[in-house]
Structure formats: structure tokens, C-alpha cells
Chains A and B, each alone.
Chain A
Amino acid sequence: MKKIAISQLNTLFAAIAARKALYIPADDGAGAAKFTLWAEGVQLSDKLNTVRSAKDLFFPQVEQLVNFKMEGTKLEIIENRDATEPFVVFGVRACDAASFDILDRVFLSDPVDTFYQTRRENGVVITLACSRPAETCFCGTFGIDATNPAGDITCWMDGENLYWRANTEKGEALTATLDLTDCDGSAVTAQQEAVREILRKLPLNGLDFSDFKDQKLMDVFNSPKWAALSESCLGCGTCTFVCPTCQCYDVQDFDNGREVRRFRCWDSCMYSDFTMMAHGTNRPTQKERFRQRFMHKLVYFPNNNDGIFGCVGCGRCLQKCPIHMNIVKVAKALKEDM
């Protein structure tokens, strides 16, 4: 365990940024935090979490795949993916850190998505333990310890110091380049105890999804609850786009008249055109689309991934859904019938 005084935070950031691009949560001027490229003057936000998750840095909303040039019947493929520089992301919370496991299972399974892979290899994740969880937090449901997040390096922060623990080789390598003081873990343990006390008091503490594991897929799918749950869903993509684990994407071409740029961008299974084909869609109403999103997170994904749910309990969708419908309400409603 190492530490550095809070007053030295900027020095620490400067030291990291001297070698690699550094992203930290900073206030965006509109009352929220976002991962911002650190430069002199960028201050660490005191918000619990960012609106957009750390997923953005590994799976950006829009990503250039390849270019094409066409002339007559001739076609040329021009690889022009954006170069990925090594980078460090600081201040990732336990929930987002856990989301990388889920994303890895999708993108790093065969065939490997090399765009994501490159970013994962290039990125060092420095997590920051939570000290003031919000009422919408429920990472505990998924066995995530908000006081002891994963990542290449784990940090804790109290009023005076930032405590630092390298977890991986990548983390060790970065640590070696920095000027940190050795310390014992007593301050951290004390903070963890205090925070765990708060975590126990969270309104969603005790929320348990394990019932879903014993359910037959088709039973959940055919639950009569879906109609009422989805009734007020607007079909927007807010939940999807703030979600750290949602990874559906679309591939589109943009023709500027001289060349065609193929890019991928986030997509949402909540959108009416998600599965639209020339002759219709197989999920014609919002009920089917809504069900798909939650079935995927609660049933389909765990079925294929050793029982791991496609949710990390970060609570973003609870905060941001325009009509306040979310996975907690869905899970609770479905559990009534189990």
C-alpha cells in the first residue's frame, strides 16, 4: 500500500499525464461529472460517479472502422482506424470496473474485437473506492465491493490522503514510475468499515437477483408483467447509453462523395429500428424491445456467461430514465411471480 497527500493530487496527475493520456472525472459545467482528458487545471470531481460510464474509453460511441474508395467497378479498402495511444483512466468506481469483465466476455471472445482489445491493452484502470454511495447504488447485489474495487490499481481517498494499491503488472509498472510513499492499510480498512456501514443502510441493499438463475428462460419471457412494465417506456436509449455494460452496436456507412467511411456506433435494443429489416421487424412493439433489454441482462447473458448478470448496479439508469423505469423495478416485479 502506498499513499500520497490529497494536496499532491495534481502533482500525481501531472506525473501520470507526462507519460500517458490521463482521464479523470471532472465537472462538466452542467452539474455532472465526465471523464475528461487531464490537463493543468482540470480538477477531480467530487461527484459520486460520471453520467457516462468508463465504457466510453474502451468502446466509444462512434468508432471509425475502415474506408472504401470506389471508382467505376473498382473498389479499394483503406484501413484507417484511429491510433490508440496508451492511456490511464483514474477514478473508475467499483461498478464500472466490474463492467469491464462483462464487456470483455463479449468483445474478447472469439472472434476477438480488435478495436476493443487494443484499447483494453493500452488502458490502465485506476479505480477509486466509494465513500458516499447514493440511494440508487446496488452493486452489492452483484457481489461487487464498492469499498474494494478491482482495476489495475485501486485507490481510496480520505480527507488527507489518496491510498494506492497496484493489483496487476500493468498497475505495478505505472506505480513504479510515480513518487508515492509507502504506508500500511489501516486508514483504508477504517474507511472501508465506515462505508460498509452506509452500504448496509442503502435502500436497495438486500436486493437479490439470484432467483433468476433458477428460472426457466421461457417462464421469465412469458411473464404477464412485461406488458405493464413496458407500457410507459418511451423507447429512448438513455438507459442503454448510460449503462456501463450495454454493448449493442450498429455498423453504418457514410458516403462523402469521395469515399465511404464505415463506422460503428452504439445502438439500443430499445430503438424501434434496431431489428428492422426490409420486410418488418421481429420485435414490433416496445413491449418486445423492452423485454429484450432486461431479458438479456437478467437471463440470456447469465445463461451464456457462467451466471454473471449483465448489470453492475451502478444506478445510472435509475437516475436517468425519463420515466423512472429501470432494472430494479423490473426485477422486483418479475420476482413477485417466482
Chain B
Amino acid sequence: MQRVGVFVCWCGSNIAATVDVEKVAEVLAKEPGVVFSTNYQYMCSQAGQEMIQESIRKYNLTGVVICSCSPRMHENTFRKTCEKAGLNPYMVEIANIREQCSWIHKDKDTATEKAIILGRAAIAKVHLNAPLTAGTSPVKKRALVIGGGIAGIQTALDIADAGFDVDIVEKEPTIGGKMTQIDKTFPTLDCAACILTPKMVDAAQNERIHIYSYSEVSSVRGFVGNFKVTIKKKARFVDETKCTGCGLCTEKCPQKKVPNLFNLGLDNRRAIYIPFAQAVPKVATIDADYCTMLKSGKCGVCSKVCTAGAIDYQQKDAFIEQEYGAIVVATGFNPIKLDKYDEFAYSQSPDVVTSLEFERLMNAAGPTGGTLLRPSDGQHPHTIVFVQCVGSRCDDSKGKPYCSKICCMYTAKHAMLCREKYPDTDVYVFYIDVRTPGKNFDEFYRRAVEEYGVHYVKGMVGKVVPENGKLKVQASDLIGNQQLHIDADMVVLAAAIEPDKSARPLATMLTASMDTNDFFTEAHPKLRPVESPTAGIFLSGACQGPKDIPETVAQASAAAAKVIGLLNKDHLICNPCTATPDEMMCNGCSSCEKVCPYGAITYIDKEFRGPNRTTLIRRVAQVNPAVCQGCGACTVACPSGAMDLKGFSNKQIMAEVDAICR
């Protein structure tokens, strides 16, 4: 039971015109525990606030009920007002008698009656309020970026720029990600390597950035401001500190038949390799699956030729523990596997390629040295068919329901480049829609059609059949309303993109939520697009959804800005309205843990005093108040009612119900 003061606001005539404020104050004065009740023209005004403060002191109020506009409007104002008068800010309750009463009712008696009931509910609740104090937790001033593609690099650079240490964990031997494989970028057609590699070097040389290449995150504990992360540095059998990146070993290695994954298997490399010339770090890695030395103990050529003595066949996976205040996920994307798309003969003919493979075939550093040659026979293709939306916008189980967003533009780019370099080629693009919403995008596409003479055909390719060195393409032209049969030399499939496979287990570790397509969910689709709902986890790049490079970079910087904002704080102020378990009633059943979207609930085995001077160990829930956001899902999942929510406790809500139904 509190000593309650009730303050009824007129809000000028906004409330007073339809609610008899005097009567409300008068009736509420008779409620249990109410020691003072009054009304005033504008409670939120300076004078109104002073009146509240004076009354708190004069009547020794322990609870305040303000009947006024929506708490969404002035709850904070009044909390601060009361705090200044020495009352805990959470001892204030607002009865919303404007938006939810005076403004929706015309009849004064009805509105007055309702205002009284709403006031009564607020009084009933405030009696059960308890002073709440927001806790704080320290912030470790270091960030982790998971994924070293353009998103991760940009985020890391921005964070480092602001003066904070950043670690990048990259699972491949080099940072750079997908962009390293790309030849030119739309819509400017500048060379991807030219704009990316300087950034990679910047990252490597920045003393605030530490790159863990060929590494993975193996566990994450803790919470915003205080993550404890274990990083697994996979054995690359080369001492990074000694390797000079001279590349001699990669030339001498006798094992030559290793599919070169950087070129998507379009050519081969050695068992010891540096993915590409501008790799960062420029350090060799032994592919343990192919190295004869590691497999059979016979060979050792690389070790012999290495003058730096960097080869270490005994190297083991190393585990590094590090603490972070914030974690940025930048795990990126991959094109989907096309094994379910047999109609396009992807697995039957080497001349049916994905767009990313086509990218390598066009790249000066690629398997063909930048000359477009058919993989099957090394001949110049004369007719090329591009197929859009392979696995994108699918409603069947084969593909993805979403639009992969980048395909329309890179296909326009590919078509344009083909026609520019090889004007003798016929280029067909089959599409459902061409989507070009971006700066200079539509102009780019129109250039492809108008200036470069690319044949854009609205319609789907039904079948591709390899026949006599040609690819017979059957397609429909929806506008011309005819079936087309094209004898193509190459077919390029714009495969849908999907989140990297490493994202799902990572999300589990981070307790960050994902959608059904394994894209990370943002805290709010519009207002908090670069944050995960899990506090302290931020999203950068295509792990959140399909994106092109400028968008990725923009989001990367945005995520960095959020991280910087977080790391700038010495302490985080926690939301005081958190869930709290009553350990005496907790069954330890884990129901609450399963519904917590933030991973705020953990369990400990705790010793309790049992009957007759015995002790017993029970598994009980613990809520980390720094992580809990106070949604209350756990309180309902808990069968024993051990879990309750401060500020919205079971008793408080029931008291409101009772007051309303009285």
C-alpha cells in the first residue's frame, strides 16, 4: 500500500471539455491509499510539474498517479519530475484519459466515468509498484567483426578509425570475400580489385585492426558490453609470422590437381596455395585434404624450398579467448547450389555456368586470363544466353522465395561487357522483371539494351539441352508470345544468393534471431535495420538480406556507427523492467529459456536449505538484467509463476484487471 497522490490534467480543454476533471479527482480521492488528489490545467507545464513535486514532499507521497495524455507522450517527463522530488521514477503510473478517453468519447458522463475507472486501475497498479533502479554494466572497448568481406572490412575500418580495437575473424585464408572474385562493378564498371584491395591493405596495416584469417568463432558467452568469444584459428601449417608470401612453395608443390576454389573450380591450384596475388594476409596455406606430406608423411617439398622456414606440418588448431563489447556479423552470402536445376543442364555441360563463374571467366586474373572462352573447348562463344531468377522468387521448395536483388544489375553488366569486348556475340537475357531501383541503375540497364544491343526477352527458359557442342535453349517470349529456340554457346545462370552456411550455427551461438531463410533478423525492419534484436549484436552486409556493394558498404558503416556509439559508453544502463525468477519456486525446466529472444536466461545449480536441516541442489533460472529487454515471454512460459516481470508483474496486471472490472 502506497501513499498515493493523484493528479488529473485538463490538458487545456483537450481533456476537460469531455471529462469532468474535478469529479475525477474527487472520486479518486476516496480510493484506498490516496492521500492527495487534485486537478490542474497543464500537468506537464513547469507549474504543473512543480505542483507534483511539492505534493510529493508535502504529503510524503510514495506513489504518483497522473491522469493525462498517453504515457507514450509524457511518462518520461513525469518520471523525471518525480525523481527530482526524491521519488523513484518507477513509482509513477499514468492513466491515459486523453487519447484513450476524452478524445474518443463525446458524452461527458460516459467519458468521466471511464476516466475514473482508468484512474482507479492506475492507482491499483501503483500500490504494487516497487522502486526500480536501472543497473549498469561495463563495456569492453573492443569489437569483433565476423566475416572479412567488404562489409566486415568497412565496418572494421570505421570502428578502428573512431579509435577502438577491432578483430576480424575470416574463415578463408584471406580477407576480401566475394568482391575479390568479381571483375567489374555496376553501374560504374570500375574494377572491383582496384577499389577493394587498397581497403584490404588498409585493414591489414591499421594498428587497431587485428585479422584472424583462416579462423572461426567457436563459442560466444556473455552479453552486450561483455562478450567472451573463443576464436578457433585453424591450422594452416604455415607460420604466419615467418611466411613472406614469396609464393615459391606454391610453384614447387608437386600436388597440382587441386580444384582452385577461388576460381570456383574452373582451374587447379597446388596443395599449398595463396588464393590470389593480393591476398591479405599474403601467407600460404596448406590444404590438408590434398597435401601428400600431411596425408602420408612423404614429400616435404614446400618445407625444403621455403627459405623463411615457415612451414610447420605439426601446427594444430589454436584457440584464442578474447573479450568484446560488441559483435558485428558480416558473414555474407553464397550463390545457391544448382544441383536441383537439371533443366538448365548445369551439371551436364561445363558451358552452363553461374554468374559468379562467368565473373571469373571475364576476370583478367581468372583461369582464362580475362579472355572469354568456353570452359568445354576454349573457343570463343558467339551466342550467350543469360537466365535470370534461377532459384530466386520461387514458390516451390527448390529455390528461395525472395528476390536476390543483385542479379538484374550484374547480368546487365555481364551482357554489356560481352558486347563491348566481343561485339560479334549475340547476347540474350531472359527475365521475369528487370528490377533497377538504384542510383543510375535504370540508365545502366537501358544502355545495355539501347547502346549495346543486348536482347532482353521477357520470359522463362524452359530447357537447356547440350547437343553437338551447342546448347539448345528452349524459351518462351511472353511479349512476342512465341516459343524461342536458340543454339547457344554458353548459358549463364543468375543463381539466387543465400546466407553463408556458417550463419545458422553462429546465430545459435549469438542467440541472434534469424528468419526462415537464415538471414539475420534486424531489431526493427525500418528503425533499427543494422542491429540484431539481441543487444550488442550488429548486422553488416548480405547476412541480413541480399545487397549490392554500395548498400553493403553503407550498412557496414551504419553498423560501425552503432558499434562506436556503444563502445563510447563506459557503462550501459540496463532496462530496469526485467524478468526476475523466484528461485524458491523455479523448477529449472528451461521453458523460459526456450522463449527468450535475447538469451538472457541461464541456469545454475544452486544449493538450498531443505526440510529438516538438509540441503538440496536445484537447477534454477538466472536472468541477466543487462540482456533482458522485458518482453515477458518467459513469465507466461513458466508454469509455476516463478518468473515475473518488474514493472508489469502478475499482481500489477491483475490489480488493473480487477479495478477495471470492479
Contacts and interface: CB of A to CB of B under 8 A. Distances in A.
Interface of A: 70-72, 256-258, 284-285
Contact of B658 (A71, A72, A257, A284): A257
A284 B30 contact: no
B612 interface: yes
B291 to A, nearest CB: 65
A332 to B, nearest CB: 27
A257 B659 contact: yes
B611 A285 contact: yes
A280 to B, nearest CB: 9
Contacts of A285: 611-612
A284 B612 contact: yes
11 contacts: A70-B32, A71-B30, A72-B32, A256-B662, A257-B658, A257-B662, A258-B662, A284-B611, A284-B612, A285-B611, A285-B612
For this complex, into which size category does the number of interface residues on chain B fall? under 10
A274 to B, nearest CB: 14
A258 B659 CA distance: 10
Nearest to B33: A72
Contacts of B30: 71-72
Given A70-B32, A257-B658, A284-B611, 11 more contacts: A71-B30, A72-B30, A72-B32, A256-B662, A257-B659, A257-B661, A257-B662, A258-B662, A284-B612, A285-B611, A285-B612
Contacts of B661: 257
A71 B32 CA distance: 7
Interface string B462-485: 000000000000000000000000
Contacts of B32: 70, 72
Interface string B611-624: 11000000000000
Nearest to B662: A257
A72 B34 CA distance: 9
A71 B659 CA distance: 15
| A-B pairs, 4 with minimum CB distance | A284-B611, A257-B662, A285-B611, A257-B658
Interface in B632-662: 658-659, 661-662
Contacts of B612: 284-285
A72 B658 CA distance: 18
Nearest to A257: B662
A72 B611 CA distance: 42
Nearest to B124: A257
Contacts of A71: 30
B5 to A, nearest CB: 16
Nearest to A258: B662
A258 B661 CA distance: 11
A71 B30 CA distance: 8
Nearest to B660: A257
Contacts of A72: 30, 32
Contacts of B659: 257
Contacts of A257: 658-659, 661-662
A275 to B, nearest CB: 12
A71 B662 CA distance: 15
Interface in B421-473: none
Residue among A72, A256, A258 with most chain B CB within 10 A? A72
A258 B473 CA distance: 82
A96 to B, nearest CB: 36
Nearest to B612: A284
Contacts of B658: 257
Contacts of B611: 284-285
Interface in B583-630: 611-612
Contacts of A284: 611-612
B662 to A, nearest CB: 4
A257 B659 CA distance: 7
Nearest to B659: A257
